[in-house]
Amino acid sequence: MDLFEYQGKQFFASYGMPVSPGEAVTTVHDAVAAAERLGTPVMVKAQVHTGGRGKAGGVKFAADIDAVRTHASNILGLDIRGHIVENLWIEKASDIAEEYYVSFTLDRSAKKHLGMLSAEGGVEIETVAEETPDAIAKIWVDPVDGLTEDQCRQWVLAANLNPDVTDQTVELLLKLYEAYTSGDADLVEINPLIVTPEGKVHVLDAKVTLDGNAGFRHDLAPFDATQPRDEREAAAHAKGLQYVGLEGSVGVIANGAGLAMSTVDVVNQVGGKPANFLDIGGGANADVMAGALEVINNDPDVQSIFINIFGGITRGEEVANGIIEAMNRVNIASPIVIRLDGTNADEGRALLEPHLSDRLMMAPTMLEAAREAVALAEGAAS
């Protein structure tokens, strides 16, 4: 899960890294009060889960309280790449002498942790990687050995930073690696990591993605609460379903992540537009199926529903009974097309047979079911 900048900074601060004092606010009034407490000048920064805040006008320097009021009212409600700004971070402004870049993430090919450090910070790292790849010093860290101080020092030297701040940078990067591993982060990125005119190394921005699987050893609830989810995604999340909202009109329910992805693909291939990705997991009992149908049913864009189930250990009869019971519980607005295959599919289909109507149809293959569901969605739309 992605953290807001201010959450990322609090996360870094808890590992002893130097960040600026600041306050998270949601109103202009509170922004002004925060700036009065911190003392101007301050930065007024939009908190959104996307990049490009600066270019969109979401990050402003405020020399005095009037400027804080103006910027806060302009930035709150601003649309940045489809994200509406609801949270601001008011931070004591820093003077900048140099800007660096640093990050840790998993290199999936090498199966080691990859650290990237560059003296060219403050710009998009993808641009640096493309135009001047030699400006990025890379280090691969074995998760068993961890990052040693010697390794870290060699890495810092290789990046050609200001030699006066080598010791400080080594100390900070060791803490960053500790935050990355002990904090169960998928990604930690500081861009820019700055050197102040007084020669202090300081964290000026924070991008942190935490591993949702590590909830058993960290309290992720505060971060979970600020995840950007549309209403459909929030409802599915509350039911524990693997759901991703899409833009189309064909609701998709499948068992297994691979089959659900494949179902989304096949709807697109026959010219339709899926409304969502929804994986109900290996089994397909009535409770899970009813929950999935409720989520899809509440999506006003859905015009037809494609249920794609492959029975493995879960038998066709169980799947069919699950669907029938779920339909009794939920009043479904859109017609349903079912493709049921795998273990005891014939028995399952026989159970569904008496319930078939122009609201509930069956198709023998994934492709035919997709075509039928897409035709129904288009018929409803025209």
Partner 1 sequence: MSIFVDENTKVVYQGLTGSQGRYYGMLNRDYGTQVVAGTNPKKAGTDVEGVPIFASVADAVEATGANVSCVFIPAAGVRSAVLEAAEGGVELIVVITEGVPMHDEAFFFNKLETDYPGVRLLGPNCPGLISPGKANIGITAGHIAKEGGPVGIVSRSGTLTYQALYELKQKDIGCTTCVGIGGDPVPGTSFIDCLAAFEEDPETEAVMMIGEIGGSAEEEAAEFIAANVSKPVVAYIAGLTAPPGKKMGHAGAIVSGGKGTAQAKMDALAAAGVRIGQSPSEAGDIMDEVVAAL
Contacts with partner 1, residue ranges (CB under 8 A): 106, 108-109, 111-113, 126, 142-144, 181, 184, 186, 211, 213-214, 216-217, 242, 244, 246, 254-262, 264-266, 268-269, 274, 277, 279, 282, 310-313, 341-343, 365-367
Tokens in use for 207? 């991008």
Nearer to partner 1, 274 or 291 (CB): 274
Nearest approach in angstroms of CB 14 to partner 1 is: 17
Q: How many CA atoms lie within 13 A of 112 on its CB side?
A: 13
Nearest approach in angstroms of CB 283 to partner 1 is: 11
180 is annotated as an active-site residue: no
Nearest approach in angstroms of CB 265 to partner 1 is: 5
Nearer to partner 1, 22 or 316 (CB): 316
Nearer to partner 1, 199 or 258 (CB): 258
Nearest approach in angstroms of CB 287 to partner 1 is: 17
What is the distance of C-alpha 189 from the center of its chain? 15
Q: Which residues lie across from 136 on neighbouring strands?
A: 118
The helix/strand/coil state of 279 is: strand
Tokens in use for 160? 């050609």
Nearest approach in angstroms of CB 157 to partner 1 is: 25
101 is annotated as an active-site residue: yes
Nearer to partner 1, 126 or 198 (CB): 126
Output the CA angle 18-20-21, nearest 5 degrees. 120
d(CA 324, CA 98): 65
Nearer to partner 1, 89 or 104 (CB): 104
**Of the listed 98, 189, 317, 372, which one is catalytic?**
189
Query: Please, are residues 93 and 61 in contact by the beta-carbon 8 Å criterion?
Result: yes
Nearer to partner 1, 144 or 221 (CB): 144
**Of the listed 5, 98, 100, 101, which one is catalytic?**
101
Q: How many C-beta atoms lie closer than 10 Å to residue 170's C-beta?
A: 20
Nearest approach in angstroms of CB 135 to partner 1 is: 18
Exposed, middle or buried: residue 328 (CB in 10 Å: 0-12, 13-18, 19+)?
exposed
Tokens in use for 47? 């908190």
Q: Which value, to the nearest 10 degrees, does the dihedral of the CA atoms of residues 137, 142, 147, 152 take?
A: -20
Query: Please, are residues 280 and 288 in contact by the beta-carbon 8 Å criterion?
Result: yes
Between helix 5-13 and helix 166-182 the angle, nearest 10°, is: 100
Residues serving a catalytic function are 101, 189
